[in-house]
């Protein structure tokens, strides 16, 4: 039996040891916003925040999250009340198919917390663990840049 808190809600579930945290969130808790793209930690679509740090949910087993706090894309903002990063993604057209987007957002959240992101090169470097095939990254970089500037009072 594991006990995890996801987006502020605590769940207790019986899990098989090999169940990935991504599959647990998606199929046991029904939080399908976290996407699975490669199951080898390369694409970044499954990125979530575990105890305050971004991690790959495909490289973690659900049993390991016992007692942990998790944030997923569902915890950021709602359709009617998106958070500033989500709003910036929409304003800058930083998503097309939307499959990589939850991972991009959760990586963005951690990058914004941890790095100054003073240059576009730094933003690109920070995003380089999240693959996107639709946008060519240009608008994603612009969306994050806008949030950095807003946070800096710009």
Partner 1 sequence: MVVEVGEAEARPKIIGARVQRVEDPRLLTGHGTFIDDINLPGTLHIAFARSDYAHARITRVDTADAAAMPGVFGVFTASDISDLFNPIRATSRMADYHATELPVLAGSKARFVGEPVVAVAAESRYLAEDAAEKIYISYEELGAVVDPVAAAEPDAPVLHDDVGSNVILTRTFMRGDVDEAMASAPIRVGDSFRMHRKTPTAMENRGYLADYDQGRRALTLHSTSQVPGIVRDALVEMLDIPGNRLRVVAPDVGGGFGGKGALYREEVLVCVLARLLGRPVKWLSDRMEDLMSTNQAFDERIEAELACDEQGHILGLRAEVTGDVGAYSAYPWTATVEPVQVVSFLPGPYRVPHYRGRVRGVTTSKAPMGAYRGVGRPISTFVMERLIDMAAAKLSLDPLEMRRRNMVRAEEFPYKAASGIVWDRAGFMECLDAVTERLDYQGLRESQAEARERGRWVGIGLASYAELTGLGSRIAVAPGMPVNTGTESANIRIDSSGAVTAYFGIASHGQGLETTLAQVVAEELGVRVGDVEVIHGDSAIVAHGTGTYASRSAVLAGGAAIMSARAVREQVLKAASHILEADAGDIDAANGKIFVKGTDKSISFRDLARAVYSEMGRLPREVREDIELEATRTYDPFFGTATPATHLAMLEIDPETYQVKILRYGVAEDCGRIINPLIADGQVHGGVAQGIGAALMEEVVYDDAGQILTASLMDYVVPTAAEIPSMEVIHLETELPNNIGGFRGMGEGGTIGAPAAIANAIADALALNVNELPMTPERLFRLVGKQQE
Partner 2 sequence: MKPPAFEYLAPASLDEAVAALADDEAKVLAGGQSLVPMLNFRLLAPSLLVDINRIPGLDYIEDNGAGGLRVGALTRHYSLETSELVLQRFPILNAAMRYVAHLAIRNRGTIGGSLCHGDPAAELPGLMLLLDAKMKTTQRTIAAADFYQGALETALADDEILTEIQLPALADETGWGFEEFARRSGDFALTAVGATVGEGAARIVVIGAHDTPLRLTAAEALFPDIDAVVAAAQAEVSPNDDLHASADYRRHLVGVLTRRALAAAI
In the complex, which residues of this chain contact partner 1 (CB under 8 A)?
16, 18-19, 26-27, 31-40, 42-43, 45, 72-74, 76-80, 82, 86-87, 89-91, 93, 95-102, 105, 120-121, 123-125, 127-141
Question: 2 or 102, CB closer to partner 1?
Answer: 102
Question: 90 or 116, CB closer to partner 2?
Answer: 116
- CA dist 127 and 84 (Å) reads 18
CB of 26 to partner 1, least distance (A): 7
Out of 3, 9, 13, 53, point to the residue binding partner 2 (CB under 8 A).
53
Q: What residues contact 103, with CB distance under 8 A and at least 6 apart?
A: 34, 35, 37, 43, 44, 45, 46, 47, 130
Q: According to the binding rule CB under 8 A, does residue 101 interact with partner 2?
A: no
Long-range own/partner contacts, residues 93-99 (CB < 8 A, 24 or more apart): 93/135, 93/139, 94/135, 94/139, 94/140, 94/142, 94/143, 95/134, 95/135, 95/140, 96/134, 96/135, 97/133, 97/134, 99/35, 99/37, 99/45
Residues between 2 and 41 with contacts to partner 2, criterion CB under 8 A:
16-18, 20, 39-41
CB of 89 to partner 1, least distance (A): 6
CB count in 10 Å sphere of residue 51: 11
CB of 67 to partner 2, least distance (A): 9
Q: According to the binding rule CB under 8 A, does residue 125 interact with partner 2?
A: yes
Token pair in block for residue 102: 């939850």
CB of 153 to partner 1, least distance (A): 24
CB of 96 to partner 2, least distance (A): 21
């Amino acid at each position: 039996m594991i006990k995890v808190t996801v987006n502020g809600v605590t769940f207790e579930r019986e899990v098989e040891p090999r169940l990935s945290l991504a599959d647990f969130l998606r199929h046991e808790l029904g939080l399908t916003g976290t996407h699975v793209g490669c199951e080898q930690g390369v694409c970044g679509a499954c990125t979530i925040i575990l105890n305050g740090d971004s991690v790959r949910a495909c490289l973690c087993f659900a049993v390991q999250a016992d007692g942990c706090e998790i944030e997923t894309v569902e915890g950021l903002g709602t359709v009617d009340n998106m958070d500033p990063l989500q709003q910036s993604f929409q304003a800058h057209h930083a998503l097309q198919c939307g499959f990589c987007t939850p991972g991009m957002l959760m990586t963005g959240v951690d990058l914004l917390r941890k790095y100054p992101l003073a240059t576009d090169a730094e933003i690109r470097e920070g995003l380089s663990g999240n693959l996107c095939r639709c946008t060519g990254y240009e608008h994603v970089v612009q969306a994050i840049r806008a949030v950095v500037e807003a946070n800096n009072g710009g």
